[in-house]
């Protein structure tokens, strides 16, 4: 699939993709990350819905809050992602 799509179309595609993130696999997530990167579309909050280490969606992540940081432990690869809480 190498069709050229506009930024707007890419945004829609990404938006639709993340509605159903829990049913996606790492291969699909990698693809959508690449699309976002190519189109320079920031994923922002959407970044938190999948693991940045193994690209698996966080289905039942263990979440800890310490100081002003949110720590999500990936149930798949056991690696931790940290996010600042605003
Ligand atoms: Zn992971």
pLDDT digits (tens, 9 = 90+) for 23-81: 999 999 999 999 999 999 999 999 999 999 999 999 888 899 989 999 999 999 999 99
What's the whole-model pTM score? 0.85
- Whether pLDDT at 2 is above 80: no
Q: In angstroms, what is the span from residue 1 Cα to ligand 1's centroid?
A: 27
Q: In angstroms, what is the span from residue 3 Cα to ligand 1's centroid?
A: 30
Q: In angstroms, what is the span from residue 80 Cα to ligand 1's centroid?
A: 8
* Higher per-residue pLDDT: 3 or 72: 72
Q: Please give the Cα distance from 52 to 22 (Å, whole number).
A: 15
Q: In angstroms, what is the span from residue 84 Cα to ligand 1's centroid?
A: 19
Q: In angstroms, what is the span from residue 30 Cα to ligand 1's centroid?
A: 13
Taking Cα atoms as reference points, which of 51, 54, 11 lies closest to residue 32?
11
Whether the CB-CB separation of 59 and 75 falls below 8 Å is answered with yes
């Amino acid at each position: 699939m190498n069709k050229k799509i506009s930024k707007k179309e890419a945004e829609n595609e990404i938006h639709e993709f993340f509605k159903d993130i829990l049913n996606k696999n790492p291969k699909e997530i990698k693809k959508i990350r690449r699309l976002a990167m190519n189109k320079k579309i920031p994923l922002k909050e959407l970044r938190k819905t999948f693991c940045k280490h193994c690209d698996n969606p966080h289905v039942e992540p263990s979440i800890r809050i310490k100081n002003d940081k949110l720590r999500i432990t990936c149930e798949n690869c056991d690696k931790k992602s940290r996010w600042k809480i605003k």
